[in-house]
Structure 1
Amino acid sequence: MIVAMDLNASPVPEEDDETFEGHIEEYSAPEERVETAVDIARREREERRRRLKRDRSDDRPMHASQPHVYDYQSYQTKTLKSYDKSRLPPGWLDCPAFGQEIAYIIPSKVPLSEAYNDSIPPGRRYSFKQVVHQQRVLGRKLGLVIDLTNTTRYYSTQDLKKDAIKHVKIQCKGRDSVPENSSVNQFVYEVLQFISRQQHSKKYILVHCTHGHNRTGYMIVHYLMRTRLMSVTEAIKTFAEARPPGIYKPDYIDALYTFYHERRPEMVVCPPTPEWKRSSDLDLNGEAVADDDDDGVPASPSHGPQESDVVMTNDDVLGDEIPWDQQDAFRRFCYQTLKLPVGARGITQFPGSHPVSLNRENLQLLRQRYYYATWKADGTRYMMLITMDGCYLIDRNFNFRRVQMRFPCKYTNEGLGERIHHFTLLDGEMIIDTLPESQKQERRYLIYDLMALNKESVIERPFYERWMMLEKEVIEPRKYDRSLFRDFYRYDLEPFRVRRKNFWYLPTVSKILKDFIPKLSHDADGLIFQGWDDPYVPRTHEGLLKWKYAELNSVDFLFEIGDDDRQLLFLYERGKKKLLEGNRVEFKGGSDPSFYVGKIIECSWDSEKQKWCCMRIRTDKSTPNDINTYKKVMRSIKDNITEDFLLQEIEEIICLPMYADRIQNDNKMIAAAKANLARRR
């Protein structure tokens, strides 16, 4: 349920702002009578009026002064330029210094060093000296300052070091666009890390941009969305109540709803620009200009939704960068979950399970163990890590990128339970469906395995258990959640759809090849045979078998050109490049080979021409196949297991007692599951 709210409320009256600031100033000098900011504004306005009347010789019209807004220009001693380093940020003087704390975060305007003192009357100064003192009076000890401005001219961080306060700089332009998604990821990570290290005493975090409203609010709302179970509307309201009037740029508010795939309620109205901002500097339309802290560097184009007519490819980069330290921590979690030792290359190697090519020797495994089959999609391999603060795609280079997805935990009779998955690790592949009727493209993530469920490793459980847990713990809760929140959260705006990949017992292989694969709306290049009772095996899994159509059997090489223009194809052997002597590759359409230098190319073998044919560049990989993988592929090519031969073998295999008994039991289980589902409905 969306909480009713009005973001169109006026800012706190300026008399209240001035009284508060004067009160804070009294803490620093209790014995002295400190002139209030209102008194200063009135006195200086009169002085300025008299001085201008005396000094000005022309008849140029003057801007009318706004009530209770201090005109800082009388303190400027030289002509101001667009990016004059001594210039006060427009509206800074009359902007309230800071807001109420939100989860140990204090939103603030930028503190200005003492170098600006000539431009600021004594009762209005706000440097880190005042910041530390004021927060200490309020019973708060600062431990971290996060600076979101796009300049370093406002203060020196040396003052913070004296008080053992950590400073983190996340440069965000204040003009034309909201902060980059990677900057948001860094902000949330820095806050989470700082708070997690607070064991005995709780220290506070001061977050500031220029005025402490738009960029600061944007970041804090993101943090709330990733750490608390609330809607964007509730998060925006929380910030607005702590730092009135809150975020007042419409594009920032729109960007938050768009990012989190939520509908913006009609009741949510963007607050007007605060008077202290409007009075300080107006553009030709009478609106407040953007925050002037960009040091004259042009702003990058704003990043909005991608064009709907852009052609999707498997090489597209999905998601946003995350901090290196966060990626390192996630890598360690994956290694621990999969129970992998840290080798000579550390934790940089992709740990996901890999199938081996089917040949006449390992084909016998189908007779020895109980297997299920599925189609081999020609997509992009990704593992996926789901945490409370985000969902992360893990590519073949073992790099993590954040995507905005919703993965609730299963519902219980007692309530929502844990509600959001936290450290659930999946394995799957990203495909691109082209819908037959409309030719519209849709990304879909096919999940085929589950390795960790809310921090608990399940890799030693048999595959069939993990596969059923996947449906019960991951897929069904999303479906149920979608039925409840269809008017609130828009699953259809997520970057891709999600489903569990189907597996079938061996008697269905003929139907998969002849009926199912031809009707797929994405490319498929063969079959996968999965041991039904197998644990999850990291990296090369000798019992996980792949069969590919003969013309699609392939090897990934690193391509180079030698000094004599000789083509060089490299594999990997024990982590080092190994040249494959006497091999050549043919490129489609007579492409210039130099274009492929330094790239990983996927090649199929042309037995007639006795040479490799380049199929595509593997942008998702940074290393070629290992030499052992190459040998297995060549063995598969040599054995030439055709579709007819494979089907003939399977006809014999399914007649074995092991398969006959298991298939009968599986049919009973499927019937019981359908009956339970019907009763629930």
Structure 2
Amino acid sequence: MPADSIIPDIPGELLTDPNIQHHLSSRVASLCGLSSNKFPGSQPVSFTTASLDLLEREDFWVCEKSDGVRVLVFIVMNNMTNQQEVWLIDRKERYFNVTGLYFTHWEHKNVPLKETLIDGELVLDIDPRTGHQTLRYYAFDCMVLNEENIMEKPLDKRYARLRNWVVTPLEASLKAHPEMRQHLPFEVVAKREELSYHLRFVMKEHIPSLQHGHDGLIFTCVQTPYIPGTDENILKWKPPSENTIDFKLELRFPPLLNADEPDYHAKPEFLLCAWQGRDDYEFFDFMYMSDEEWQKVKETGEQLDDRIVEVFWDSRVQIWRMLRMRNDKPHGNHRSIVDKILHSISDGVEIEEIYARADNFKAAWKARARQRAHPPSNVQRQVSQQYTTGGHQEYSRNYSGPAPGGGHGDGYAHGGPGGGIAVVSGLKR
């Protein structure tokens, strides 16, 4: 994480009424087709050498991994007031009500958008010239749109709906009513995505132009549905030396001399505990903290015991060190995820290794595109079975790439979700 990264606080009013929260979380679960009210967001897996082959076998998009706070935006109609409400849901399953945002229907400007669930990240952008800070929500996926669950649709269709039917109408409203901007709790933008083989552009040109911190790349499969929980088709890449794990930290103080009580003035041992599920944790390893670091922690007066901390492996001296506290997470990484991250650390992939395979990604992507354009007769019959949604003709789910058609300068489709390429690059494919 860059030294100048600032993780923003979640805006809005924290919901404290358990009955209202249960109602909202149950509604979210129902819309997502889930049997429990847990946080429905997807989680990536760590990048390994096997991921290189996966990027060659399937179509993926790539974007930078922002330093921010993961939240879902839940747009919902309050049946009691008949007013639209906007809620932010974090990974601790906390709900924050924000005002000043109003989303309209993409076809009817005077009609409010109904139940919609968006995935993204709150990021604090800082203008390097003026130092001005702007809170932005970088939306990268859409799970529910106007009461319709679209999680089974492929990413390119979900993203196109997000861009064209949520973000663009909001931008149009703000353009028509500029006075609304002064009441915005944050700006809403569609996060920039590129074809996987354009990762060099992302690293060399896009990331240096950002106004916020970042710590790697996210590769997301274009063809697969949105999957709550761990998704093997979302890959999180970091330099091997920067892979981190979230543990619960427990402090073990030595006993006082000739007493059974612990000596809270002494430097404790720092125990890293891996989450086993529910509220169960198991000791994993010790974390190192120098005397100077411990003194600084004591001076802050901040509690460390029973906190979720993000740690990294210092391979030079073979120890775990603390990177930061994770106040946004209710639990550390599950032990199964810990094992995968450990594998990623030992089987890490440097960026140059991914660059070296980029031409293979491109060749394989184009070969699949040619095959889709000229499918065998039995597949062709399936592709011809198109359907219509909301007045926009769409391609069959058998079509697994971005819809054909050119962009309009900014690289986004400006027609319906099936009517143009939804990936954001002006680069040649």
Taking a change above 3 Å as real, the CA distance of residues 405 and 675 of structure 1, as seen in their structure-2 partners, is closer
Distance of 1:551 and 1:516 partners within structure 2: 22
Residue 196 of structure 2 aligns with an amino acid whose one-letter code is L
SS in 2 for 1:640: coil
SS in 1 for 2:406: helix
Q: Report deviation, 1:471.
A: 1.2
Does the CA-based 8 Å contact 2:52-2:354 persist in structure 1?
no
Does the CA-based 8 Å contact 2:125-2:135 persist in structure 1?
yes
SS in 1 for 2:48: coil
Aligned partner (choices 392, 417, 428) of residue 120 of structure 2? 428
Aligned to 2:71: 382
Residue 421 of structure 1 aligns with an amino acid whose one-letter code is L
Please list, as runs of the form range in 1=range in 2, the aligned pairs for 1:111-510 lying within 5 A after superposition: 313-314=6-7, 316-322=9-15, 323-342=17-36, 347=37, 349-388=38-77, 389-412=84-107, 416=109, 419-486=111-178, 489-510=179-200
Does the CA-based 8 Å contact 2:245-2:311 persist in structure 1?
yes
Aligned to 1:68: none
Residue 380 of structure 1 aligns with an amino acid whose one-letter code is V
SS in 2 for 1:669: coil
- Establish whether residue 572 from structure 1 lines up as the match of residue 281 from structure 2: no
Does the CA-based 8 Å contact 1:586-1:611 persist in structure 2?
no
Aligned partner (choices 353, 357, 360) of residue 652 of structure 1? 360
Aligned to 2:289: 586
Taking a change above 3 Å as real, the CA distance of residues 581 and 371 of structure 1, as seen in their structure-2 partners, is closer
SS in 2 for 1:479: helix
Does the CA-based 8 Å contact 2:68-2:121 persist in structure 1?
yes
Residue 670 of structure 1 aligns with an amino acid whose one-letter code is G
Aligned partner (choices 534, 541, 545) of residue 231 of structure 2? 541
Does the CA-based 8 Å contact 2:106-2:166 persist in structure 1?
no
Distance of 1:603 and 1:556 partners within structure 2: 6
Residue 309 of structure 2 aligns with an amino acid whose one-letter code is I
Q: Report deviation, 1:590.
A: 1.3
SS in 2 for 1:513: helix
Give deviations 1:151-185, integer Å, cap 9, x for gaps: xxxxxxxxxxxxxxxxxxxxxxxxxxxxxxxxxxx
Residue 403 of structure 1 aligns with an amino acid whose one-letter code is V
Taking a change above 3 Å as real, the CA distance of residues 662 and 473 of structure 1, as seen in their structure-2 partners, is farther
Identity of aligned residues (%): 26
Distance of 2:287 and 2:407 partners within structure 1: 54
Taking a change above 3 Å as real, the CA distance of residues 473 and 581 of structure 1, as seen in their structure-2 partners, is closer
Aligned to 2:392: none
Taking a change above 3 Å as real, the CA distance of residues 587 and 599 of structure 1, as seen in their structure-2 partners, is farther
Q: Report deviation, 1:467.
A: 0.3
Residue 473 of structure 1 aligns with an amino acid whose one-letter code is W
Q: Report deviation, 1:463.
A: 0.9
Aligned to 1:528: 218
Distance of 1:675 and 1:625 partners within structure 2: 35
Aligned to 1:621: 329
Q: Report deviation, 1:675.
A: 11
TM-score under structure 2 length normalisation = 0.77
Does the CA-based 8 Å contact 1:410-1:476 persist in structure 2?
no
Q: Report deviation, 1:364.
A: 2.2
Does the CA-based 8 Å contact 1:654-1:660 persist in structure 2?
no
Taking a change above 3 Å as real, the CA distance of residues 578 and 598 of structure 1, as seen in their structure-2 partners, is closer
Q: Report deviation, 1:549.
A: 2.4
Does the CA-based 8 Å contact 1:604-1:612 persist in structure 2?
yes
Aligned partner (choices 598, 612, 626) of residue 320 of structure 2? 612
Distance of 1:375 and 1:420 partners within structure 2: 32
SS in 1 for 2:405: helix
SS in 1 for 2:359: helix
Rg comparison, structure with higher value: 1
SS in 2 for 1:361: helix
SS in 2 for 1:624: coil
Aligned to 1:596: 304
Distance of 1:567 and 1:401 partners within structure 2: 33
Aligned partner (choices 331, 341, 357) of residue 633 of structure 1? 341
Give deviations 1:118-170, integer Å, cap 9, x for gaps: xxxxxxxxxxxxxxxxxxxxxxxxxxxxxxxxxxxxxxxxxxxxxxxxxxxxx
Aligned to 1:288: none
Residue 658 of structure 1 aligns with an amino acid whose one-letter code is A
SS in 1 for 2:49: coil
Distance of 2:61 and 2:352 partners within structure 1: 19
Give deviations 1:420-448, integer Å, cap 9, x for gaps: 12211110001111101101111100001
Q: Report deviation, 1:587.
A: 6.3
Does the CA-based 8 Å contact 2:276-2:282 persist in structure 1?
no
Taking a change above 3 Å as real, the CA distance of residues 668 and 317 of structure 1, as seen in their structure-2 partners, is closer
Aligned partner (choices 385, 390, 406) of residue 670 of structure 1? 406
Give deviations 1:581-618, integer Å, cap 9, x for gaps: 44323369513467421211111111111111111111
Give deviations 1:258-307, integer Å, cap 9, x for gaps: xxxxxxxxxxxxxxxxxxxxxxxxxxxxxxxxxxxxxxxxxxxxxxxxxx
Does the CA-based 8 Å contact 1:587-1:614 persist in structure 2?
no
Taking a change above 3 Å as real, the CA distance of residues 566 and 663 of structure 1, as seen in their structure-2 partners, is farther
Taking a change above 3 Å as real, the CA distance of residues 377 and 589 of structure 1, as seen in their structure-2 partners, is farther
Q: Report deviation, 1:659.
A: 5.2
Distance of 1:426 and 1:368 partners within structure 2: 28
Distance of 2:310 and 2:412 partners within structure 1: 46
Aligned to 2:423: none
Q: Report deviation, 1:332.
A: 1.0
Taking a change above 3 Å as real, the CA distance of residues 312 and 646 of structure 1, as seen in their structure-2 partners, is closer
Taking a change above 3 Å as real, the CA distance of residues 537 and 484 of structure 1, as seen in their structure-2 partners, is same
SS in 2 for 1:670: coil
Q: Report deviation, 1:552.
A: 2.4
Residue 392 of structure 1 aligns with an amino acid whose one-letter code is W
Query: Structure 2: where are the runs of 5+ without partners?
Result: 78-83, 255-267, 374-400, 416-429
Query: Structure 1: where are the runs of 5+ without partners?
Result: 1-310
Does the CA-based 8 Å contact 1:505-1:663 persist in structure 2?
no
SS in 2 for 1:443: strand
Distance of 1:668 and 1:621 partners within structure 2: 40
Aligned to 1:89: none
Distance of 1:333 and 1:658 partners within structure 2: 42
Distance of 1:581 and 1:508 partners within structure 2: 39
TM-score under structure 1 length normalisation = 0.49
